Structure 1
Amino acid sequence: MEANWTRVGFFFALVMTVAILIPSSVVSAGNAFSDLKIRTHLKRLNRPALKSIKSPDGDIIDCVPITDQPAFSHPLLINHTVQMRPSFNPESVFSESKLSSKTKNQQHSKDINQLWHVNGKCPQNTVPIRRTTKQDLYRASAVENYGMKNQKSIPKPKSSEPPNVLTQNGHQHAIMYVEDGVFYGAKAKINVWKPNVEMPNEFSLAQIWVLGGNFNSDLNSIEAGWQVSPQLYGDTRTRLFTYWTSDAYQGTGCYNLLCSGFVQINREIAMGGSISPLSNYGNSQYDITILIWKDPKEGHWWLQFGEKYIIGYWPASLFSYLSESASMIEWGGEVVNSQSEEGQHTTTQMGSGRFAEEGWGKAGYFKNVQVVDGSNELRNPENLQVFTDQENCYNVKSGNGGSWGSYFYYGGPGRNPNCP
């Protein structure tokens, strides 16, 4: 009997010891599970690198073998053969050699680049991927949502829509668009700013949307431009980005290379990497060129940054409507107004933070706005229209002519006396 009690006492002591130790090593079962999810997700995103480069802005850029990038985890791309160059590249009528001397003098000649370049470059047959950290995932609403947009983030400039359809979901836009057509790409020069973003869960961006399908259920969208997003990147730097979805942001697609899908071939440009220099109010203006087009032979949608960097492509198999063509193109700015439900507008800026009428050197702009037609040629769009949710908060003014072709100024400060 005494031996039995001894064993019982020893067992009880062991249980109590374990019970005491567990809280000190693992705060809760829920947190342990969350940490496991984070480690698993990081392993999925951060592939083994041949070389890693520390950027002055704090980023780590991993040079990953091109065949090991996240794209090929997609079920539709398991046996995909990388296409190292597009079959055709549309030619723009707005080449640098055709710009007027006045326009050349207005623009700074220095190329826009990425900060990590000062500390090295990726070797041949690798692609640069911005390393994701635990802190990045902690900022997400859920690990599985990291890198995904809100489902209600697309502009809907339809006359049938109620005028407040977008302000209700917190996303606001100032855009130029063309609809009800057959398009095979889009291009524009976008000047680059560092808008103030008030809340960590808000962002400000300037981008091109290439769209097909229905807005409510099965929308296909390909997007690229620049953005400031503290929640996604953990800072307020201006960064190059892409996005895609094939189901109206419900479950497919993501920013940059944060899920499988986009195939990168370029070893010099990191998606999500910060870009410099930036435009200054009343001073030097810097812009980036974004071109998205559909390869008429292979059917993939390609992305070009600047005049020489062909970044990669979205395989046609990712999409339904966009496997054929786009029916709508949009260019412009977007912000998140997370305070709209509280009745007070955010002070998050769009573009330069100045209204469109301030014009050159002060407001944000898109110029040389073009679409790609069925002959794989860039041309000026017909029937261009503009749209904004709350003109007193952010606005847009369009124009046409000269070396700028079709263009518009856009942006605004958000909250002001006319936008309470």
Structure 2
Amino acid sequence: MTNKMKLRDENGKIYFGWYILIVSALIGTLIYNGIISTSGVFMLPVTTELGIPVGAFSFYISILSVANIITLYIISRKLNKNNIKKIMIITGTLGVLSFVGFSFSTQIWHFYALAVLQGICFGACTMTPCTILVSNWFGPKVRGKAMSFYIAGISLIGMGVINILNMIIMRSGWRGGYLFCAAGILICLPLMAKFAVWSPADKGVARMGDAEEAVEAGPVDPNAIPGYTAKEGLRKPAVWVALISCVLLVLASSSMLQHGIPTFIMAGKSPTIATFISSLISVIMIGTNLIVGWAIDKFGVRFGAVATCAFFALGTLGYAMVADMPGLMYPSIILYAFGVPAVNTVSPLIMAYICGEKEIHKFISYMNMLIAVGGIFGAAIVGTMFDVTGGYKVPWLVMAGILVIASIMRAVATSRKNKYAA
């Protein structure tokens, strides 16, 4: 396999990594988006019907994130090629049960209790295993593009899913919407059983995106893979700077996912139009993720790390001003679409840049643990500030400032001196 992206492997068969990408995108859409990205669609219908304050309802995301962190800690020590399918299928089933439970909930504590199951599913069945699989199947020469294809696939499929979900909620209520989310996870379970294959070595093929000399050398001895062990990497200040930047990023991104649609509604848009705008972001992100992936492979990880954070900060600033200046809505969502790849597209590349590949699956798990920490506080903080101030201007101004700090931290973490060198 060369360092170029090709459809087929050296045996003339379709490269199995492409199946990994497609299935990962489906899982990302139907499970990851079902749990997190669609939460804003449910917020106003649920809180209005049940009489729950926005801040109190947002808190279930915090509980979910705590369960996610605990799950990520466990799987960072246990996840391997021998059990990845079993872990994903079992925790995916818990996700189905949680959404079915949501559909029958009548009290806020029902959501809090079921959020634990959802957090377990989120940690062990979505971005962490899928990112590890994509990283394992695509080498450093093409990993930026592969990650961008993966995230762009989530945006492409998610565009349709979120609009279908909104129609279901309008016609059948939010309870029917939660059952739709449960069905989405159910569809993914057999796909996990078929396609969750740890690495190209398990299929007896060379990895796409490795240097030619590495391919010619034949199968790689796992003990000879360059990179830090988890213990070594966690002693490096750059690793912690990168991980903390993930926390700051997700304070903003988790807030956007839950409060973006309500922000547009508060700015005078109808729920249908606000949901359409949210899906439009997904359309734009198909292109922006591909551009970001290409730019990283072309100009380097540091360029992508800093630029995406800067765009994210500018987009969030626009969200703060959109109620007073409605014309900023569309420039803001474009900037947001260029910025949000900082979370799931760029973060794994930063960890590989700093730590190498020896135990990259552990560093990706740690990364997602810190991302989950941001998720604990982000949506709840914005929801609370909304309840206090009566609007979204102050919360988004605060988040824009946090993203500027994250941009500076990523510039430091990805300096040339911090790049792993064998």
TM range (shorter): under 0.3
TM-score (norm: length of structure 2): 0.21
TM-score normalised by length of structure 1 = 0.21
Larger Rg computed on CA atoms: 1
